[in-house]
Chains A and B, each alone.
Chain A
């Protein structure tokens, strides 16, 4: 999970830096792109981790092993969110390290960047849990990731600051959780502008984690698509 994310991040950053700007002799644009890729892959893998596990369990009918275990829905929720967050961190930390090594170690605020990455994982993992509960086949997972999450992520400051994007992308991007994570982590790793302050972004991600965590907990309590 970590290695493919690093390769993808390097690949996207290289392609966007080489194809998108006039020149990047000192590698600053590449590092800037890479710093944004870290929270993007953290979020994506935090979603993918719980989703894949749940869909495989449902398709192979091993979900009953989890449903029958003496676990409270809160314990379920915490376990899936922790696993998703770990998956997100394992894939994003090497990318973040690459970015700060290229741009200048250790970057403006590496510990804050780490905290925002943890919050990113915690905010997106419940979404992965909900997606895994909803999806009944791989087509559903593919559609949600390929047609919804990836496009939103790409237009949320991944290749260009949201403030520099044309309308209506600028206004829409400001409300994207990907934007909060990408611009905050990037500002902490390599500097540069962010649409909102790092504190605002961190609070927004924490709010998303609490809200989606609550929704996921309610869905787990109801047994929707698990016990039917």
Chain B
């Protein structure tokens, strides 16, 4: 398999960048690119202490697979892609998503990582609830999926 997609319970097993890079490594690939999403300690002027990620896992994994297939069609079949998105609560500094792409040349690897994260942010059924230092929590306003048919 050239693609690995996964929703992982990050309260049990943290995401691992070395696992992602190892998966996309191949003798014919001269480049490996890595993207990680990290919980930061502020958003829109509010101090954040953690984020909970809610995921509809079956459909999320299917959307990840579709996005990866699109990326391989655009940037070439030799591409190997790893996507793991966290589900559960993370504190500041925790990894929420790890994407890695391996390809013969660096251009494709960078492009694939960028494409995959942008598409996930607008298409995949994942929701983020921020927890603030003042004790309040709020679901982040997101992207509506395509309009009603």
- A and B: bona fide binding partners: no
B-side residues, CB < 8 A to A, are none
